[in-house]
């Protein structure tokens, strides 16, 4: 706080120093800060922000708190890039890092642990979870990390559902497998079957058992994630698609309903980021959900879309 005489003296001294403009600010009321901020913003460059990672695949590591997401990130980068502790919730924000090793180049995103909404008490954690959700929405492939000592839980299912709803490629990594004591010959198979029983109809997903701490199979996880990325971007030529699928439909047509037969005449893949197919037929309203699943299974069998959700539509022709 200054009086008018002091302010006039300050103005004279600033003028003598060659300072074009000075501000009288009050830390108590915030007076004068608006004018200051307006002038600061006016000096900002007008060029638009450009993402330095634009055009690169984006792979997001998601999961519950303390499952080893940051440990995996550090192990892949071979540097202590992110802070790792035994305290759940250490990572508070999504962190993007360029991965460029062993012939692969992509953006690796380490996210904050995602707990159930009912368990989120702090505002900071709420916004951390929101940033994690946003990272999933803007990614190409989501690596869902699971704690082998805890198994597949309801929150893992929620994260899986979020990735599937947004049509992202999905890879499931079962971490801390080295800490599981009662392992047998069929342990991995039984654990994998338990996950697939929980996730429902979309079970064509790679499931790997790793240890981020000892770096066991982490490079294999990278290779599988990139394969899923390529599957998501895969485009099937219309001629090839019809050549393969139409004979299958002729051999196993949709069941007749009320004496009416469905004839599928033509199919095409839509120009979308994730695989979506349209099948044109005479009576699309009679195609049941079970036959849509049959169609999806045939597409996966013939063209290999492992790890990627497929959308199928039947339309009038």
**pLDDT tens column, 103-141:** 999 999 988 878 665 555 555 566 778 888 899 999 999
First vs last C-alpha separation in the chain = 78
User: What integer pLDDT is reported at residue 160 of this predicted model?
Assistant: 94
Q: Of all residues in the chain, what percent carry a pLDDT higher than 70?
A: 81
Strand order in the sheet with 169-175: 95-101, 104-110, 58-63, 141-147, 169-175, 207-209
* Domain residue spans of the chain: 4-42, 58-232, 238-316
Please tell me the pTM assigned to this model.
0.79
Of 3.40.50.2300, 3.40.50.12280, 3.40.50.720, 3.30.300.20, the CATH number of 238-316 is 3.30.300.20
pLDDT digits (tens, 9 = 90+) for 38-72: 877 777 777 676 777 788 999 999 998 889 888 99
DSSP track, the chain: ---HHHHHHHHHHHHHTT--------TTT-TTHHHHHHHHHHTS--SPP--TTTTS-EEEEEESTTSSHHHHHHHHHTS--S---SSTT---S-EEEEEEETTEEEEEEE------GGG--SHHHHHHHHHHHHHHHT-SEEEEEEETTT-S-HHHHHHHHHHHHTT-EEEEEEE-GGG--S--TTHHHHHHHHHHHHH-S-----EEE-BTTTTBTHHHHHHHHHHHHHHHT----HHHHHHHHHHHHHHSPPPPBTTB---EEEEEE-SSSS-EEEEEES-GGG--HHHHHHHHHHHHHHH--TT---EEEEEE-
Q: Is residue 159 very low, low, confident or very high in pLDDT (cuts 50, 70, 90)? A: very high
pLDDT at 16 over 60: no
Of 69-73, 109-113, 156-160, 183-187, the poorest mean pLDDT is in 183-187
Closest C-alpha to 134, from 105, 164, 166: 166
Instruction: Provide the edge-to-edge strand list for the sheet that holds 276-281.
Output: 264-269, 276-281, 311-316
Contact 200, 230 (CB under 8 A): no
pLDDT confidence tier of residue 5, bands split at 50, 70 and 90? low
Q: Which of 200, 204, 187 is nearest to 151 (CA)?
A: 187
Q: Which two tokens stand for residue 284?
A: 């699309």
Helical packing angle, 218-232 and 69-77, nearest 10°: 100
- The CATH fold of domain 58-232: Rossmann fold (3.40.50)
């Amino acid at each position: 706080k200054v009086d008018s005489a002091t302010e006039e003296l300050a103005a004279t001294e600033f003028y003598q120093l060659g300072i074009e403009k000075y501000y009288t600010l009050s830390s108590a009321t915030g007076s004068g800060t608006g004018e200051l901020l307006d002038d600061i913003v006016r000096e900002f460059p007008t060029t638009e922000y450009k993402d330095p990672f634009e055009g690169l695949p984006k792979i997001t590591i998601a999961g519950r708190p303390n499952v080893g997401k940051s440990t995996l990130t550090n192990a892949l980068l071979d540097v202590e890039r992110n802070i790792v502790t035994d305290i759940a919730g250490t990572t508070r924000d999504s962190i993007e890092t360029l991965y460029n090793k062993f012939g692969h180049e992509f953006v690796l995103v380490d996210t904050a642990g995602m707990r159930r909404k009912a368990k989120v008490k702090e505002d900071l954690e709420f916004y951390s979870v929101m940033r994690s959700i946003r990272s999933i929405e803007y990614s190409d492939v989501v690596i869902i990390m699971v704690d082998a000592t805890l198994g597949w839980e309801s929150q893992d299912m929620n994260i899986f559902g979020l990735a599937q709803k947004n049509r992202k490629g999905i890879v499931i990594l079962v971490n801390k497998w080295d800490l599981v004591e009662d392992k047998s010959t069929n342990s991995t198979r039984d654990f994998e079957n338990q996950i697939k029983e929980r996730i429902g109809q979309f079970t064509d997903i790679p499931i790997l058992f790793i240890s981020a701490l000892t770096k066991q199979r982490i490079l294999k996880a990278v290779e599988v994630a990139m394969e899923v990325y390529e599957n998501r971007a895969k485009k099937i030529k219309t001629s090839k698609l019809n050549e393969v699928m139409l004979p299958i439909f002729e051999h196993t047509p949709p069941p007749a309903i009320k004496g009416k037969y469905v004839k599928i005449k033509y199919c095409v893949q839509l120009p979308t980021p994730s695989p979506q197919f349209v099948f044109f037929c005479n009576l699309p309203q009679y195609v049941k959900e079970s036959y849509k699943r049959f169609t999806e299974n045939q597409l996966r069998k013939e063209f290999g879309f492992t790890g990627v959700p497929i959308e199928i539509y039947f339309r009038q022709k």
